Structure 1
Amino acid sequence: MVSSGRPRSDWSGSGGMRKVVLGLGFWVQGLRCFPWMAVIFFLKDGLKVDPATLQLLQNSANLPMVAKPIYGLISDSFYIAGQHRIPYLAIGALLQAVSWLAIALLPQSSMSFFTITIYLLLGNLGASIVEVANDAIVAETGKPSTSSSKNSQSSSSGELQSFVWMALSIGGVLGNLLGGLVIDRFSAQAMFLCYGILLAIQFLVTISIHESSLKLPKSASDVGIRKQLSQLLVALQKPEVANSITWFAASYAIIPALTGTMFFYQTQHLKIESSVLGISKVFGQVAMLLWGVAYNRHLKSIPPRKLISAIQATMAVFMVSDVLFVKGAYQKMGVPDSLYVVVFSGFLEVLYFFKILPFSVLIAQLCPPGCEGSLMAFLMSAIALAMIVSGYFGVALASIVGVTGNNFSGLPHGLIIQAACTLLPLYWSSCIHDDAKPKTKRKEN
C-alpha cells in the first residue's frame, strides 16, 4: 500500500476498535450527570438535606476516586485472560450497573441518606476503575515510538485526547439536556433505572471485545505489582512530573468550592426551574465540546504553563462576576437571572475542567513506558482528592460567612474569598513543566 507523505495517527488508521471502546466508555461516563441530577434534587426535595450536607455527600461520594493509583497498579500489573484493560473496563461497568439498578429498584420506604450514600460510593468505585482503564489506553496509544517522529506522536496524543474529551462532552450534553427535561416528569428512580440499563449494555458490549483488537503497544505481562510500584515511584521522582502534578492538584484544592451553596441559592432563593439548570449544564457541556475542538486545532501548540495559567485567571474573573450576580448588578442592567445562570454559571462550572485537557496531554508525553495506567491514575486521584478538599473547604467557608439554606447574605463575601484563592496558584505556575524548553537543544561534542 502506498503511504501518503502526510503522517497519519495510528489510532485513526489501524485502531478503529479503540475509538469504539474509548468513545463508548467516555460517552457513558459523560452521561453520569443524568442520574446525578436526579440524586441532587432527590436529596434536596425528597430527603430535605441542607446545603452543607448536600455538598458533603457530593464530595464524599468521590472518595473511591482517590484510590485510583491502586486500580492503576493492579491493571498495569495483573492480566486477566491475557488482557489488562478490557477486563477492568467490564468490571467497572458492572459495578456501576449494579449500583444504579439497586437504587432504582429499592423500595421508596427503605430509601435513606445512608443507603443512597453506600450505593453512590459503589457506583463511583466502578466509575473510577473504568476511568483508570480508559486513561491508560489513551496514554499507551499516545506514547512516542521509535518508528515515529516526536512531532507526529505529540500530535497523535493530542488528537486522541481531544477525541475522548469530545465523546465525554457529548455524553454530558445529552445527559444534562435529558435530565433537565425529564426531572419534573419522571421519578428519580426511573432515571436511575435508565442509566443502570445503559451501563448493563456497556458491560455486554465490553466483554464481547478482545483486547488484541485495540492494537495497543506491546508490553511485558505479569510485571508484578512491586515492580510496577517501583516504576511509578521512579516516574514521580522526575521533577517535571512531580512538580507539575503537585501544582495542578494544589490549584484545585486551594479553591473553596461553593457548588452546593450556589445550587440552593439558585433554586431556593431565585426559584430557578430545574429545566433552566439543565439547559445551563448543557451550555457548559457544549462549551467543553468546543474547547476540545479548539484545543486540537489551534491551542495544543501553546506551552501548557501559559495555557493553564490563562484558564486559572479566567476562572477568577468569572467568580468576581458571580459576586456582581449575587448583588443583583446584572439584574439592574436588564439581564434575567435565568439567562445568567444558563450562560455564565454553566460556563464557570466546566471552566474548572478546561485545564485538565492540556495537562493530561503533557503528563501522557512525560510518562515513562510501562506505567501509563499507574501514573494517569495517580494524576486523576490527585485531582479527585484535591476536589474533595476543595468541597470541604467550601463547606467551612459557607459556615464562616454565615450562609445557610435560607440566608445568603454572606455569599458575596464567600465568592470574593473564592476568587482570591483561585489567583494564588498563579504565583507558583513555574512548577508546571514547559514543553517549549526542550525545543532549544544544545549542541553536544
Structure 2
Amino acid sequence: MTTSDNADLKLDGSDGEPLRLEELGRVGSGGGVMVSEEENPIRKVLWLGFWVQGLRCFPWMGVNYFLKDGLKVDPSTLQVLLNSANLPMVGKPLYGVVSDAVYIGGQHRIPYLAIGVFLQAVSWIAIAMLSPASISIFNISLFLLLSNLGASIVEVANDAIVAETGKQPTSSSKNSQSSSSGELQSFVWMACSLGGVLGNLLAGVATDRFSPQTMFLFFGLLLAIQFFITISVHESSLNLPKSPSNVGIKKQLSELSGVLRKPEIAYSITWFAASYAIIPALTGTMFFYQTQYLKIDSSALGISKVFGQVAMLLWSFIYNQRLKSVPPRKLISAIQVTMAVFMVSDVLFVEGVYRKMGVPDSVYVVIFSGLLEVLFFFKILPFSVLIAQLCPAGCEGSLMAFLMSAIALALIVNGYLGVALAKFVGVTGNDFSGLPRALLIQAACTLVPLYWSSCIPDDVKPKTRRKSD
C-alpha cells in the first residue's frame, strides 16, 4: 500500500459520540469566547478534508490498472513509479514550517488546504484529458507528482488543525486533555476510513465498467467541489488557538530543530520511520501475482480494500473506546508482531496451503490480504496521538509534517527495497517461484525493529501551549 492510498488515517462519525467541541472550541492563549459545536464548523472542515483524502484510493486503483494494462509496465517498474510519485510527501516539513509561519490573508491553515486541493484537482483532470497519443510514463509521472504535492499540503494543514485543536484544554485534568486529543484523532481517522471504504468499493466496480481516465475525471471534479467549499470557510470561524503571525520561517525552523533534538521525540520518530523502512514492500509483485497469475477480478480486489478500510474503522473505534490507556510501546509492538504473522500466512497462501484446505484464493485475498495491507497503518493512530502529546505548542504543523514526511520517506525506501528483494529472489511478471522466500524475508525484517522498541516512551505528559511573544 502506498502513502497515496492512504495513508493518511483517523475515527468517529458524524452520527457517533459527540466530541465536546464546545470545549475544544476555546481560544488558546490569545483569549476569546467559547464556541459551541453548532457554531464551530471545524468538525465539518476536518470531516470533508479527511473523507476526500480517503477517497484518493479510487483514482489510484485506476492508476495501477492503467500502468499495467495501458502502458504495459512490469511489476518492478510499477512499484518504482508508484513509490517515486510519493516523493513530494517527503517535503512535508517545509510545508508545515511555511503554514506555521506564513499567513495568507490572516489565515495559515485554510489557504493551504485550498491550494493543496486545487493542485490535486488540476492534476487529475489534466491526466483525464490527455489524448491517447500523448500519454507516456513521463507525463503521467509528472501529474502524479503534482497530485501528491497537493495531497501532502492538504495533509499538513489537516494534521496541524487536529494537533492544535486536540491540544486545547477540555478541563483542568491532564488526562481529559489527552483523551480529547485521542478522540479527535479517532474522529478524523473514521472520516478517512469511510472515504477509503467508499473509494475502494466504487473503484472495484468502476475498473470493470469505465476507463481509468474516466475515474480520474470523476475524482478531479469532486476535488473541484471541495475547493469551492473550502474557500467559502474563513479560518476565524474555526476558533483555532491564537499564535503570533510574525514568527517567520527562520524562527519556525529553529523551533522545529529544537523540538527534534528532544530525545523522546527524536528517538520515537527515528524508530517509527525505521520500522517501516526496514520492511521490503512487495505491493507491485503481489498485485501482479493476484491479477496476472491468479486472475483475481478487480471487484474482488476492491472488496479486499473495502474489508481493510472497515477493519480500520473497527480499529479506530476499539482504540478510542478501549486502547487509549494502553502504553504506546506495548500497543505498537503488538501490531508489529501481528504484521509478521500475516506475512507468514501469505507464504502459506502462495504455497497453496489454504487452497488445499478448501479456501478459495479470492476469499483469502479479500480477507487476509486486505487486512495485512491496513495493518501497516494501524500503528499510525496511537503514534500520532503520542507525538501530538509530546509536541510543544506552536510547532504542531511543523512537527506533525515532519513525522508524516519521515513515514513517506520510509515507505519510499521500503518500496525500493521491495524491488531489490524481488530481483534478488528472481520474481518477475511471469515467474513467482521465489515469492514465498521473499515473503519470509519480509516477515523476518518486520520483527527486527522490536529489539529497539524501548525508543518509544510509555509515560507521556501533554505539553501546554506556550504564551505568545
Structure-1-length-normalised TM-score: 0.95
Structure 2 counterpart of 1:14, which letter? S
- Does residue 1:241 correspond to 2:265, yes or no? yes
Count of matched residue positions in the alignment of Structure 1 and Structure 2: 433
Q: Pick from 187, 190, 203: which aligns with 2:211?
A: 187
**Deviation string for 1:216-244 (max 9, x for gaps)?**
11111120001101111111111110000
Given the alignment, which residue of 333, 339, 349 partners 2:357?
A: 333
1:81 corresponds to 2:105? yes
Structure 1 position 14 matched with structure 2 position 49: no
Partner of 1:47: 71
* 1:385 has 2:412 as partner: no
- Give yes or no for the alignment of 1:228 onto 2:228: no
Q: Which amino acid aligns with 1:192?
A: F
Q: Which one-letter code corresponds to 2:277 in the other structure?
A: A
- Kindly provide the amino acid, as one letter, of the partner of residue 36 in structure 2: S
Pairwise CA distance, 1:143: 1.3
- Partner of 1:67, secondary structure, is helix
Q: CA deviation at 1:292?
A: 1.0
Trace 1:34-433 onto structure 2 (pairs within 5 A).
34-145=58-169, 148-433=172-457
In 1: Cα distance, 2:206 partner to 2:248 partner: 48
Question: Equivalents in 2 of 1:141, 1:376: separation in Å?
Answer: 13
Partner of 1:408, secondary structure, is coil
Aligned 8 A contact 1:35 1:195 in 2: yes
Residue identity matched to 1:371 = C
Distance in 2 (alpha carbons) for counterparts of 1:20 and 1:314: 34
Contact kept? 2:19, 2:184, Cα under 8 Å: no
Q: Is the 8 A contact 1:272 1:338 kept in 2?
A: yes
- The residue that corresponds to 1:3 in the other structure is none
CA contact (8 A) 2:86 2:412 kept: yes
Amino acid at match of 1:179: A
Task: Measure the CA separation in 1 of the matches of 2:19 and 2:56.
Answer: 36
Amino acid at match of 1:369: A
Query: Is the 1:94–1:203 contact (alpha carbons within 8 Å) kept by the matching residues of 2?
Result: yes
**Where do 4+ consecutive residues of structure 1 move more than 6 Å?**
none
Q: Provide the rounded CA distance (Å) in 2 between the counterparts of 1:404 and 1:14.
A: 58
Give the secondary-structure state (helix, strand or coil) at the position aligned to 1:216: coil
Q: Distance in 1 between matches of 2:20 and 2:98?
A: 33
Counterpart of 1:30 in structure 2 is 54
- Listed one character per residue, the Cα deviations across residues 117-156 of structure 1 (whole Å, up to 9, x for unaligned) are 0000000000000000000000001115496421111111
Alpha-carbon spacing, 1:349–1:361, altered in 2? closer, same or farther (3 Å): same
Partners of 2:410 and 2:208 in 1: CA distance: 33
Q: Report if the CA contact (8 A) 2:170-2:180 is conserved.
A: no
State the alpha-carbon separation in 2 of the partners of residues 242 and 17 from structure 1.
34
For the aligned residue pairs, the C-alpha RMSD in angstroms reads: 1.5
Structure 2 SS opposite 1:184: helix
Q: Using a 3 Å threshold, how does the CA distance of structure 1 residues 146 and 205 change in structure 2: closer, same or farther?
A: closer
Name the TM-score, length of structure 2 as normaliser: 0.90
Partner amino acid for 2:133? Answer: S
* 8 Å contact from structure 1 (residues 318, 344) kept in 2: yes
Could you tell me whether the CA contact under 8 Å between 1:144 and 1:154 is conserved in 2?
no
Identity of aligned residues (%): 77
Q: Distance in 1 between matches of 2:347 and 2:254?
A: 47
Match of 2:5 in 1: none
Cα offsets for 1:321-380 (capped at 9, x unmatched):
000000000000000000000000000000000000000000000000111000000000
Change (3 A) 1:8 1:36: closer
Deviation at 1:105, TM superposition (A): 1.0
Contact 1:312 1:423 in 2 (8 A): yes
In structure 1, the gaps of 5 or more residues are: 1-5, 439-445
